[in-house]
Amino acid sequence: MSRSYYPKSFLWGGAIAANQAEGAYATAGKGLSISDVLTVGEGRIRRVTLDVEDNQVYPSQVAIDFYNNYDNDIRMFAEMGFNCFRLSINWTRIFPTGFEEEPNEEGLKFYDRVFDLMASLNIEPIVTISHFETPLELVRQLGGWDNRDMMPHFLRYCEVLFKRYGHRVKYWMGFNELNNVIKIPYLAGGLFITEGENRNQRMHQAGHNMLVASAHVKRLMDEYCPNAMMGAMLSLSGMYPATSHPEDVLSAYQMRRNSLIYGDVMIRGDYPAYAARLFETLGVTLDIEEGDMELLKNNTVDYLSFSYYLTCAVDHKTEMAADTGGPIGVDNPYLEKTKWGWPIDPIGLRYVCNELYDRYEIPLLISENGFGARDTFVDGKIIDDERIDYLNKHLIQLNEALHDGCDVIGYTWWGPIDIVSAGTGEMEKRYGFIHVDKDNDGHGTLKRTKKKSFDRYKAIIESNGSALFE
């Protein structure tokens, strides 16, 4: 008979990003971020317009209007029993273009109100400093993170956050899914790469610059809030060889290193031995400035947070497709998929926790895991049994990982309330335990309705995992 191995101190909650939830894109002095000029996909490719065009739907601009509904929404999270909530600060609320010398007080006040409310409800904030919200003006003028001139603007922003919120935020993370700069470079690294440019060079240089920036951020955090903890945040959905063909096994191993390289630098403090050959193969020459390596060595992170949605199967002859949830490989005949083609693999979560804990031996936080699906009302209710099944099975496997000895300190379900999809811009790719009345064209009342999964997650949290075994 299984039992819960979730520790009493376990952080239970959910995660969102400002650009996918807040809306109010031009309110109280906010400037445009890179996500505010992304169109809606729905089977089509999401376009970056680099300016606001007429007759386009830009889903992030209104999103679910969390900006004006945060009080109600966070109270609903408290009702589910959340003791933590991961959110990002919208850089452009604080520095509208990124270039200002002084922060926008109105923007800072918004997060004061959010943190006040969370404190009153005993919800621990977990804060992502940059989650696909780079100021558009910085990108227009500097071209994104392959330009080191981004650094002072980012660090000025971070310093303001530590000074203002350092006394109330214990868990920080710098860049969301830093390793995705080599998969979804526009969102993760503010890189707008055009045809004919040296893609690998730009992406990997941006990766290095972001690693150096992250080390600076850790240094600043230690200075302003010595009791806080800094996490790496990486996209680490799992990876298997498609067959036992040695070429597949080797390809899967090498491909995994393309992501782990970022964990290796942020946690161990240096580029791993395999990095030199990787860059050589890609024709990449990194511009590493004097002092960079020492900074990386002296400012490693305190915990590793990661997103886990799926596993992919690597066939050495087939090119992988990039997606927000992780790379998509060839079909794995043992796994079912979501409507968006993401393989569902609860055991993979146990596998990845063990893989990462074996490698790094620092606390792990699962900062994203979730199930994107279409929901329908029947007699005024949403009976989302598939989402419940995904939740139950992943949490049972996480319990196995805890039993295996992995030090996992928390779990934040991605999108506990329906929000805009980062990858496609759709509202109808829903993750929430709470439904939001809005469609892909931006129509709807924004009314919130609990789904069946709301009570299920509540019961799991209330019992600290025991309900999974009843």
Q: How far apart are alpha carbons 32 and 23 in whole angstroms?
A: 11
Contact, 257 vs 179, CB < 8 A?
no
397 interacts with ligand BG6 by CB under 6 A: no
Q: How far is the CB of 415 from ligand BG6 (least distance, A)?
A: 7
Whether the Cβ atoms of residue 35 and residue 133 lie closer than 8 Å to each other: yes
CA angle (34 as vertex; 31, 39 as ends), nearest 5: 110
Restricting to residues 2-21, which ones interact with ligand BG6 according to CB under 6 A? 17, 20
Number of residues located near ligand BG6, criterion CB under 6 A: 16
Residues 320-349 that bind ligand BG6 (CB under 6 A): 324-325
What whole-number distance in Å separates Cα of residue 153 and Cα of residue 169?
Answer: 22
Catalytic residue (choose from 124, 133, 137, 177): 177
Q: Answer yes or no: are the C-beta atoms of 87 and 46 closer than 8 Å.
A: no
Interacting stretch for ligand BG6, rule CB under 6 A, among 3-11, 142-150, 293-301, 417-425?
417-425
CB 130 within 8 A of CB 192: no
C-beta closer to ligand BG6: residue 111 or 309: 309
Contact residue for ligand BG6 among 137, 146, 368, 384 (CB under 6 A): 368
**Interacting positions 260-319 with ligand BG6 (CB under 6 A):** 307
Identified binder of ligand BG6 from the candidate list 208, 350, 429, 451, rule CB under 6 A? 429
Residue with smallest beta-carbon separation from ligand BG6: 423
In this complex, which beta carbon is closest to ligand BG6, that of residue 62 or of residue 402? 62
Least CB distance to ligand BG6 at residue 131 (A): 6
Answer for which of 90, 311, 397, 421 binds ligand BG6 (CB under 6 A) is 421
Out of 96, 372, 416, 465, which residue is the one contacting ligand BG6 (CB under 6 A)? 372
- The nearer residue to ligand BG6, 400 or 426, going by C-beta atoms, is 426
Q: Which of positions 156-185 make contact with ligand BG6 (CB under 6 A)? A: 176-177
Among 110, 145, 414, 457, binds ligand BG6 (CB under 6 A): 414
State yes or no: is 22 an active-site residue: no
Q: Which residue has the tokens 């040695």?
A: 246
In this structure, what are the phi and psi dihedrals at residue 24, rounded to the nearest 5 degrees? 45, 50
CA distance 275 to 279: 6
Cα dihedral 185→236→213→362 (10° resolution)? 180
Stretch that binds ligand BG6, among 28-36, 44-52, 106-114, 414-422 (CB under 6 A): 414-422
SS3 303: strand
In our burial notation (b when 16+ CB lie closer than 10 A, e otherwise), range 264-280 reads bbbbebebeeebeebbe
Catalytic residue among 22, 124, 368, 426: 368
What DSSP line would sit under 299-316, residue for residue? ---SEEEEE---EEEE-T
Stretch that binds ligand BG6, among 140-148, 244-252, 271-279, 420-428 (CB under 6 A): 420-428
Shortest separation between residue 139's beta carbon and ligand BG6, angstroms: 18
Distance, in Å, from the CA atom of 34 to the CA atom of 171, rounded to the nearest integer, reads 25
400 is catalytic: no
Residues in a beta bridge with 314? 241
Q: Based on C-alpha coordinates, what's the Rg of the chain?
A: 21
CB count within 10 Å of CB 355 equals 17
Contact residues: ligand BG6, CB under 6 A = 17, 20, 176-177, 235, 307, 324-325, 368, 372, 414, 421-424, 429
Residues marked active site are found at: 177, 368
